[in-house]
A and B are shown apart, each in its own frame.
Chain A
C-alpha cells in the first residue's frame, strides 16, 4: 500500500466497478454496499485470483531486477578484477535481506506501530500471517492474500540496499558491507517504507485514530518507491562514497567499464522487471494497472533517447552506456509518478530527467571530485528527487493526472487537488528521506570505518577484490 489519504483518482472507482463485477460477493455487497471494517472471513471473499496471479508474477520479476539485472548492470561497469565482488555483493544482499525481511523487516515496515515512524514487532517471524490472512489494496473491499504482499514488498526491500553498493564499488570489504546493509535495512529502509507506505487500508481508515505512516499521513505521493527506494539508496551511497574516499588511481588512470554488453543486458532486464515494480505497485490487476505500465514504458524510452541526444550534442557520439544510463534514470523518475500521471507527461518527465542526471554524473561529479563509482547518487538520488517533485506537478488533474482519492470517507471519493500544496508535501517527504537516510548512513559508515574498517588494503584493491575477497576470478580464459 503505497499512497496517502490522497490516492490515485481512478483506483477507488475502478475498485468499486471491479467489485460489482464479481458475482461471488456481489450479492452480499449489493445488499449493503461495501463492507466497512470487514473481518478476515469477509476479506476471504474479497480476493481476486487475477490479482493474486499478477502480484505473484510481479514479485518474481522484481526479484529478477536484483539478480541478475542489477548485478549485470553494475558488474559490466567495473573492471574485470572486481566483477565477482559486485555480483556477490548484490547476490548476498538479496539473500540476507530476504531473511531479515521475514524475521522482522515486514513487521517493522507493515504492521501497526504506536508511532508514525515505524511499525511494531507483532508480525515478527511472520507471526499471525497465514494463507488465510489478507492485505488491503487501494480499492474498498478488494484484498490480497497477505503472503503475496509480504513477498512483493520483500523484493523491494532486497533491491534497495543492493543499489547502494554501486557508489563504492571496487573498494569495499565484503563482510563490513554486509553488516552495513543489514543495519541500514533495519534503521533506514524499514522505517522509511513504513512512513511512506503504511496505512490501515481503505476499509479501515474512516474514524481510525491509530497512526499511519508519517509521510503517508502528510499525503506524499509515491506510487512505487521514488523516496523509499531511489532517494533512500542514492543518498546512502553518496555517504558511503564520501566516507570511503576515492579509488586508488581515480582520475589518474583509466577505469573503463569492462563489459558494456552486460550493462546493456542488465539495464534491459531492469526495464522488463520494472513493470512488476511499478505496475505491480497497483496491487490489483484491474484496468488502472495499465496506466503505470504504459507510463513505465514511455518515460524510459524518452529518457534513453534524451540521454543519447545529450551524448550526441556534448561528446559528438551517442553512447550505449548513455542510452542504458538514460533508461535507468527514466525508470527511476517515473517510479513515484507512474500511477498518478498521464503517458504524455511521463514522456516529458523522461525527456527532462536524463539531461539533469547527465549533468550530475559528468559535470557535478567531476567538479566536486567525489568517486561515486557507478553513479548511484547522480542517477538514483537525483532522478528520484526529480521524479518525486514532478509527481506533485503532473498528478494534477488539470494536467491529465489522476489527482488523489480521499480514503477518510467510506466508500472513498476523489479529493480536490492543490498542486502547490502537493509539491510542498513532496518536498517535505524528499527532505525527510534525505536527512534520515543520509544521517543514519553517514553514522553507520563512519562507525564501521573506525572499527572493523571498510576499505581493503591498497595491495588488495590494486590486485582486485575478486581474488582477494572471494578467491576466484570472473573470467578464466
Chain B
C-alpha cells in the first residue's frame, strides 16, 4: 500500500478530485496548508506599508492506494494539477505499514 501526498495549487483541487474519481479512487483527505518552495511569496501593500509573505497557501491531498494503482494515481495528479508555471507543487509517495477500516475491522487493501 502507498500513501500519495500531493501539495497542489488550491484552484486545482476539483480537477485532481475528478481525475482520481475516474481512476476509481474511493477517498482522499484534503488540508489547507501554507509553505514555500521555489515559488517566491507575494507582496502585499497596505497604504504604503509593504509586507512580503513568504508562505504561499496550498492544498495538501492525501490518498491511500494499493500498490497496483499508485503509479496511475501519481500520474493522474501530476497531469490534473499541472499548469506549467512555477508553484504547481510536489507529489510524495510513502509506504503504508498497515490500514484498518474502523467500522468493520477489515485490514490492508480491503480497508482502502
Binding site for B on A (CB under 8 A): 254-257, 315, 317, 319, 321-322, 325, 358, 361-363, 365-366, 375
Smallest distance from the beta carbon of A256 to chain B beta carbons, Å? 6
B103 contacts A by Cβ under 8 Å: no
Q: Which residues of A contact B51 (CB under 8 A)?
A: 254-256
Chain A: minimal CB distance from B60 (Å): 20
On whether the beta carbons of B48 and A361 are closer than 8 Å, the reply is yes
Q: Is the CB of B44 within 8 A of A256?
A: yes
Main secondary structure, interface of A, reads helix
CB A326 to nearest CB in B, in angstroms, measures: 11
Contact status A362-B48, CB under 8 Å? yes
B53 touches A322 (CB 8 A): no
The answer to whether A322 and B44 have CB atoms under 8 Å apart is no
Which residues of A lie under 8 Å from residue B49 when comparing CB positions? Answer: 255, 362, 366
Interface size on B, residues (CB 8 A): 8
CB-defined A-B contacts under 8 Å, sample of 11: A254-B44, A254-B53, A255-B49, A255-B51, A256-B46, A257-B46, A319-B45, A362-B49, A363-B48, A366-B49, A375-B47
Choice from A254, A317, A325 contacting B47 with Cβ under 8 Å: A325
Query: How far apart are A309's CB and chain B's nearest CB, in angstroms?
Result: 15
- In the complex, the answer to whether A361 meets B47 with C-beta atoms within 8 Å is yes
Could you tell me the distance in whole angstroms from the C-beta of A146 to the nearest C-beta in chain B?
42
A374–B99 CA distance with the chains assembled, in angstroms: 54
Q: In residues 23-66 of chain B, which contact A (Cβ within 8 Å)?
A: 44-49, 51, 53
Give the CA-CA distance A362 to B48 in the complex, in Å: 5
User: In whole angstroms, how far apart are the Cα atoms of A321 and B46 in the complex?
Assistant: 7
Bound Cα distance A161, B45 (Å): 29
Determine whether the beta carbon of A321 is less than 8 Å from that of B48: no
A260, closest chain B residue (CB): B46
- Please measure, in the bound complex, the distance between the C-alpha atom of A361 and the C-alpha atom of B49, giving whole angstroms: 9
Interface of B is mostly: strand
The answer for the CA separation of A418 and B17 in the assembled complex, in Å, is 74
Q: A322 to chain B: which residues have CB within 8 Å?
A: 47
Q: Which chain B residue shows the least CB distance to A307?
A: B47
Chain B residue with Cβ nearest A375: B47
Residues of chain B with a CB closer than 8 A to A321's CB: 46-47
Known contacts A254-B44, A362-B49; can you find 11 more A-B pairs with CB under 8 A? A254-B53, A255-B49, A256-B44, A256-B51, A257-B46, A315-B45, A319-B46, A321-B46, A322-B47, A362-B48, A375-B47
CB distance from B86 to the nearest CB of A (A): 20
> Can you name the residue of chain A whose Cβ is closest to the Cβ of B48?
A362
**Residues of the B chain whose Cβ atoms lie less than 8 Å from the Cβ of A375:** 47
Option from B44, B47, B53 in Cβ contact (under 8 Å) with A362: B47
> Are B47 and A366 in touch, CB under 8 angstroms?
no
Bound together, the chains give a CA A255 to CA B51 distance in angstroms of 8
Nearest A-chain residue to B51, judged by Cβ: A254
B48 interface neighbour in A254, A317, A365, Cβ under 8 Å: A365
Most A CB contacts (10 A, CB to CB) among B47, B51, B53 go to B47
Docked Cα-Cα span, A439 to B51, in Å, equals: 35
| Distance in Å: Cβ of A324 to nearest Cβ of chain B | 10
Q: What separation, in Å, do the CA atoms of A322 and B47 have in the docked complex?
A: 7
B40 → A minimal CB distance (Å): 16
Q: How far is the CA of A255 from the CA of B46 in the complex (A)?
A: 9
Interface string of B64-85 (1 = CB under 8 A from A): 0000000000000000000000
List chain B residues, Cβ under 8 A from A256. 44, 46, 51
Is B46's CB under 8 angstroms from A366's CB? no
Q: How far is the CB of B48 from chain A (nearest CB, A)?
A: 2
* Chain B residue with Cβ nearest A311: B45
Q: Which 7 interchain pairs have the tightest Cβ spacing?
A: A362-B48, A254-B51, A361-B47, A315-B45, A256-B51, A256-B46, A321-B46
Q: Which residues of A contact B48 (CB under 8 A)?
A: 358, 361-363, 365-366
Which residues does chain A contribute within 8 Å of B53, judged by CB atoms? 254
A257 to B49, CA, bound (A): 11
What's the minimum C-beta distance from B19 to chain A, rounded to whole angstroms? Answer: 32
Residues from chain A with a CB closer than 8 A to the CB of B47 are 321-322, 325, 361-362, 375
What residues on B are CB-neighbors of A363 within 8 Å?
A: 48
Chain B residues with Cβ below 8 Å from A254 are 44, 51, 53
Across the two chains, which residue of chain B brings its CB closest to A361? B47
What residues of A have a CB within 8 angstroms of the CB of B45 in the complex? 315, 317, 319
CA distance A325 to B51 in the complex (A): 19
How far apart are the CA atoms of A362 and B47 in the complex, in Å? 6
Residues of B within 8 A of A361 (CB): 47-48
0/1 interface trace, chain B 95-109, chain A, CB 8 Å (1 if under): 000000000000000
